[in-house]
Amino acid sequence: MRTGNLGAAGLKRRLRARDPMWAYDRLPAPLRRWLSEAALPWSPASAARAFARALREEGGEAAALARLDRIERATLARAALTPPSSAAAPSPPPGRSPSAARPSPEPGRI
């Protein structure tokens, strides 16, 4: 399965009902600029909702964009706590380093 820019964050993929570029083009310019540098793949609809709410509650464009930064950082922090897909190797038992899980080769044998 192709993950695009989701990487190994473990975030859910969602189907879109509309053309995302059409929706993106209708966003305010400051929000489009912010989205172009965002770390996560925001949908135009969720970005517009979050931006509109932040504008209402924060009162200004700069404060609203700062709030979007905080929302994104919180999402990234949650994703970092979520284990990646099952393709990752299991971690060693607590108290053991990954190198201790494998025996080292005997001297002179490689």
pTM: 0.58
Average pLDDT over residues 82-104: 56
pLDDT digits (tens, 9 = 90+) for 49-67: 999 999 999 989 999 999 9
Q: Residue 89's pLDDT is what?
A: 54
CB neighbour class for 100 (10 Å; exposed up to 12, middle 13-18, buried from 19)? exposed
Check residue 81 and give its pLDDT: 77
Q: Which residue pairs, CB below 8 angstroms and at least 24 apart, start in 68-72?
A: 68/34, 68/38, 72/38, 72/39, 72/40, 72/42
pLDDT tens track for 18-38: 677 888 999 999 999 999 999
Where along the chain do its domains lie? Answer: 16-80
Query: Residue 34, exposed/middle/buried by CB under 10 A (0-12, 13-18, 19+)?
Result: buried
More confident residue, 86 or 23: 23
Taking the C-alpha atoms of residue 14 and residue 33, their distance in angstroms, rounded to an integer, is 23
pLDDT tier for residue 15 given thresholds of 50, 70 and 90: low
